[in-house]
Amino acid sequence: MSFVIAEPETVAAAAGDLAGIRSALTTAAAAAATPTIEVLPAAADEVSAAISRLFGT
């Protein structure tokens, strides 16, 4: 038979570490969201103009 022993202080410290990681990931995701969801305007080169005509925009 196996037994598991958990120390409340260790579990509380691990929970605090996980909360810190979650906070850092949330901040990083928010910082990355704006630059990655914006659509850049088409360039002024021939290929961009041809694709723009193809899609009618």
Does the predicted model carry a pTM greater than 0.75? no
In the chain, what are the domain boundaries? 8-55
Chain mean pLDDT for the chain: 85
Alpha helix positions (H), the chain: 8-37, 46-55
Query: Residue 17 — left, alpha, or beta (φ > 0 → left; ψ -120 to 50 → alpha)?
Result: alpha
42, 51 contact by CB (below 8 A):
yes
pLDDT in tens, the chain (57 residues): 788 999 999 999 999 999 999 999 999 999 888 776 666 667 778 888 888 778 875
48, 42 contact by CB (below 8 A):
yes
